[in-house]
Structure 1
Amino acid sequence: MPESDLETPTAESLARWLTDCVATHLERPVDAIDPTVPLSDYGLDSLYALSVIAELEDHLDISVDPTVMWDNPTVDALSKALAEELASDD
């Protein structure tokens, strides 16, 4: 069941999910991902960004504008932006 069917995800729960997603794509341990470091610093490119957006859409059962990752380039910034967007949709 998508998380959005339960209750609105928090920035913290989204950050945990995003950190896990990034770690999986990079084949690194979750604790090796710093949520304040721009994702591009890890070598993640536009193809990766589209992949993460697709996973976010599936996870949250919403449509996500791909530019949100460029406007919010860290896990912390992205999770806060998504949480605000989800809260405003309620």
Structure 2
Amino acid sequence: MNDTTTVGTTTVDTSPQAIRAWLTDRVAYYLERSPADLDEGAQLAEMGLDSVFALTLCGDVEDRFGLVVEPTMAWDHPTIDAITAYLAAELAG
């Protein structure tokens, strides 16, 4: 299994661990919290991620991984762990 993808001229690590770390960093940035303070299995909405940041996260995912995702991604996959699994599966396929 190849755990990288090329977006433009950049090679991106697409292993589940790298996806999870990147997502955790992005969500922590939006919530103005430390990544270490986040529970990756907690509901994003319950942590305080609002619809504006959820939509922005979709754009970040598209830019980072070269995937087109639905604007409802954060609601359809409501935790960092769930988004990680979704993205890993999409990138593997």
Q: TM-score, normalised by structure 1?
A: 0.86
Residue by residue over 1:44-83, the C-alpha shift from the partner in whole angstroms, topping out at 9 and shown as x without a partner, is: 1211110000111111122111222211100001111111
The alignment-based identity, stated in percent, is 38
2:41–2:80 contact (8 Å) kept in structure 1: yes
Q: TM-score, normalised by structure 2?
A: 0.83
1:21–1:52 contact (8 Å) kept in structure 2: yes
Provide runs of 4+ in structure 1 moved above 2 Å. none
Per chain length, whose mean CA-contact separation is higher, i.e. which structure has more relative contact order (CA < 8 Å, sep 6+)? 1
Q: Which runs of 5+ in 1 are unaligned?
A: none
Q: Which runs of 5+ in 2 are unaligned?
A: none
Aligned CA-pair RMSD: 1.5
More strand by share: 2
More helix by share: 1
Count of residues in Structure 1 that have an aligned counterpart in Structure 2: 86
